[in-house]
Amino acid sequence: MTKDALPIHGSTAVVLGPRGTAYDVLREAFESVGVKLVDDTGGQDVAVPDICCALLTGTAVLDSATPSAPLPRGNLARIAAAMAGRGSGRMILVLDGGGGLHTGVPAEEAAARAADLAWWRQLAARLSCHGVLANQIRVGIAPCLSHRPGPQRTAAVLRHLPLRRVAQPADLAAAVLHLASEGCGYTVAETIPVDGGMGLTMVPPLRPSRARTESTEPFDQSRGGADLFDLSGRHCLVVGGSSGIGREAALELARRGADVTVVARREREILAVAHEIATLGRRAEAVRQDVSHLDALEPLVERLWSAARIDALVYATGLCEPEAPDHQPALRERALDVNYRGYVTLADALVRRWASDRRGGAVVAIGSAGAGFVPGLESYAASKAALIQHTRSLAVSGGRHRIRANCVQPGLISTPMADASAHEGFQDAWLARIPQGRAGLPGDVAPLVAYLVSDASAYVTGAVLHVDGGLALGGLPPLAGNGGLA
């Protein structure tokens, strides 16, 4: 896979932070896709890079050989202002640690990092309306970040990870390339956890598992860079692929080399999507199926599997209807069937297959920011919340079988369902709380789905990643001017 297949934002990048292993990982990642690494001298006459990476690594909790240094806020603010003036740019913060509170971290380090991260997220919110996207990558235990916890402490950490291995350079490099890509255009101040599921706070199983428990490398370490995004030879099952996010996800998977089976209720629409996939040179199959007919789903998986192994499930279907007292019980049951039970039935059938053949698999569930606190959407919210929780639990139980499970949480996305169900005033109220100032498109979500399906995210599991223009930051609508960028 080339830079053309994974379009990167611009052609120059700068890395701010100590020279060493992490710096070298980022340099090699950018060079692999034709991006030139340039030095930052701090001068006003220096050309503005297209991509800026900052390293906030060296946490004491992972016995880093290189102590953590403060974030270079002055340089970052200067570069950010220049990017904003130009109207484009990508900024990426790489930090280490597992999220949450670790008593092994000195209180001063924890406080300094919290302040740096709050400063960064505030900057990200202000930059987003100027065409500059700032996001974070949090890396778990990683020798490539100079972590040296020793064999006993490493084993103790791995015991609490669904994916029982340390982070490899390719894991960090791929996450950086995703955030630096043109397709990552509606993600603001989001954190990709490249940590093997460390942030899930997993408790080891109650009973010994018969699944493999040794450290595993789930992809060929000779591959790297854009090659990890290549889906050639994979077969993906996309549920809800007739329109909106599901349709665009199916097409994006095909563009990256996957064969795709599209499942939905509307036959004409899925036949059209299958035809588009075929024109991309990939094998396509259209299956008309209502996922609320639960008894038909496991036989469907068995039939599809008998023809070709399924490597990934993308569940993008959904039922979103406002509630009314006269049909509330029926709506609640149907919402649970479409948004949750259908997903669980399909995922269970695939997990059994994947655990049996020991080749692993990937699950990507599409949640919704509308599953928060929107009046009249109680059943929709509950069913989507169940989908998210099940996915994170699946990440924990499936990790030993090399099964990864992640959620994508879209915000206000212009889809047929959203456009039909949300009146203009409702959408205006949403837009007032989105720092980027626009609604998203299905094409903004599809690249993240493809990343989570691919080996590029082989060390990402149990994540809930937002594609919402910054809505998840949770700020109020502007009560005053946006202020400066510093």
| Torsion sign (Cα): 178, 180, 184, 186 | positive
Q: Do 324 and 290 meet the contact criterion of CB atoms below 8 Å apart?
A: no
C-beta pairs of 99-104 under 8 Å, 24+ apart in sequence: 99/138, 99/191, 99/193, 99/195, 99/198, 99/199, 100/199, 100/201, 102/59, 102/61, 104/60, 104/61
Residues whose CB is less than 8 angstroms from the CB of residue 388 and which lie 6 or more positions away in sequence, other chains included: 365, 367, 371, 407, 409, 464
Q: Do 189 and 124 meet the contact criterion of CB atoms below 8 Å apart?
A: yes
Please name the residue ranges forming H helices in 237-377: 244-255, 267-279, 297-307, 328-336, 342-357
Write down how long the chain is: 486
**What's the CA gap between 358 and 174, in Å, rounded?**
24
Count of Cβ atoms closer than 10 Å to residue 212 Cβ: 12
CA-CA-CA-CA dihedral for 6, 7, 8, 10, to nearest 10: 160
Name the residue type at position 118. Answer: A
Q: Do 407 and 452 meet the contact criterion of CB atoms below 8 Å apart?
A: no
**What's the CA gap between 448 and 242, in Å, rounded?**
19
Name the residue type at position 243. Answer: S
Determine the longest span between alpha carbons in the chain, in angstroms: 67
Closest CA to 135 of 79, 187, 98: 187
**What's the CA gap between 376 and 189, in Å, rounded?**
29
The residues annotated as belonging to the active site are 368, 380, 384
379-392 core/surface letters (b: 16 or more CB in 10 A; e: else):
bbbbbbbbbbebbb
Closest CA to 252 of 323, 151, 184: 184
Q: How far is CA 143 from the centre of its chain?
A: 23
**What's the CA gap between 174 and 170, in Å, rounded?**
6
